[in-house]
C-alpha cells in the first residue's frame, strides 16, 4: 500500500508540469511522454480538497441508515465483515472497545473525532478495489450505517451536507484542537 501511494505521489509530481499545460487548448504532449487519460482514469486521480470538520465542500445528496446497510453489505462487508467487527481488514464498529493498551482496537465509534472525516475517507479510499467510485448519496448512506452501528445515530437518521457536520463523535475530545485556519 505504501509503495502504491509513493508511486502515485511521484507520478503526480512528475506529471504536474505536463498536466497544467495539458489543459491549454491545442496542447499536444511531447512524443513518447504520456497520453491523455480517459474520463474513468482521470476521475481516479483527481485529488479533491479534504472535507474539514465544519463540512465545507460536502456535496449535494443524502443517505439513510437503511440504504447504507445494503450498500455496506454489497461493497464493504468482504473486507470489514458483515457487521463491521469481523475484518479481515480494519474493524469499523466497536464503540465499547478500548482505545489504548494491548487490547486496543480503534474504531469509528471509539476513536474518530469527526463524522465528516468518515465521509471524506470513504469517498476517497473505498471500496479498496475501486476507490472514489461511490456516489455522494452512497457515501452518505454508508456513513449513516456505520455511525448507527457504532451507536452514534438512530436507525431513522438521514445524512446530508447539513446534518453530517452536526454529528458529535465520542472521540472528539481525545484530540488537540487544530489552531490553523481552514483554507478553501
Quick: pLDDT tens for 133-164.
899 999 999 999 999 999 999 999 999 999 99
Tell me: pLDDT of 82 over 70. yes
Q: 50 in a domain, yes or no?
A: no
Identify whether residues 22 and 92 lie together within a single domain: no
Question: Per-residue pLDDT tens for 9-37?
Answer: 555 555 545 455 555 565 555 555 667 77
pLDDT band at 79 (very low <50, low <70, confident <90, very high): very high
Q: 52 in a domain, yes or no?
A: no
Nine cell digits for residue 137: 448519496
Segments forming the whole domain that contains residue 157:
62-174
Identify whether residues 122 and 78 lie together within a single domain: yes
Cα–Cα distance between 94 and 106 in angstroms, integer? 8
Question: Per-residue pLDDT tens for 32-71?
Answer: 566 777 777 766 666 667 899 999 999 999 999 999 999 9
Q: Exposed, middle or buried: residue 147 (CB in 10 Å: 0-12, 13-18, 19+)?
A: buried
Q: Cell 446497510 maps to which residue?
A: 69
* Mean pLDDT score across all residues of the chain: 82
Identify whether residues 31 and 72 lie together within a single domain: no
Identify whether residues 100 and 155 lie together within a single domain: yes
Cα–Cα distance between 72 and 94 in angstroms, integer? 16
What's 119's domain CATH number?
1.10.760.10
How many CA atoms lie less than 13 Å away from 13 in the CB half-sphere?
5
How many structural domains does the chain have?
Answer: 2
Amino acid at each position: 500500500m505504501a509503495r502504491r501511494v509513493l508511486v502515485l505521489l511521484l507520478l503526480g509530481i512528475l506529471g504536474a508540469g505536463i498536466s497544467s499545460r495539458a489543459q491549454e487548448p491545442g496542447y499536444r504532449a511531447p512524443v513518447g511522454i504520456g497520453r491523455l487519460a480517459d474520463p474513468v482514469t482521470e476521475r481516479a486521480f483527481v485529488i479533491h480538497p479534504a472535507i474539514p470538520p465544519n463540512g465545507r465542500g460536502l456535496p449535494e445528496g443524502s443517505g439513510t441508515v437503511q440504504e447504507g446497510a445494503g450498500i455496506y453489505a454489497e461493497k464493504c462487508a468482504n473486507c470489514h465483515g458483515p457487521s463491521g467487527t469481523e475484518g479481515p481488514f480494519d474493524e469499523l464498529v466497536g464503540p465499547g472497545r478500548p482505545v489504548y493498551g494491548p487490547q486496543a482496537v480503534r474504531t469509528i465509534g471509539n476513536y474518530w473525532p469527526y463524522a465528516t472525516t468518515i465521509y471524506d475517507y470513504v469517498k476517497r479510499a473505498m471500496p479498496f478495489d475501486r476507490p472514489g467510485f461511490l456516489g455522494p448519496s452512497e457515501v452518505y448512506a454508508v456513513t449513516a450505517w456505520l455511525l448507527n452501528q457504532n451507536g452514534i445515530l438512530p436507525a431513522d437518521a438521514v445524512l446530508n451536507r447539513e446534518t453530517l457536520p452536526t454529528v458529535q463523535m465520542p472521540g472528539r475530545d481525545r484530540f488537540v484542537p487544530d489552531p490553523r485556519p481552514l483554507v478553501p
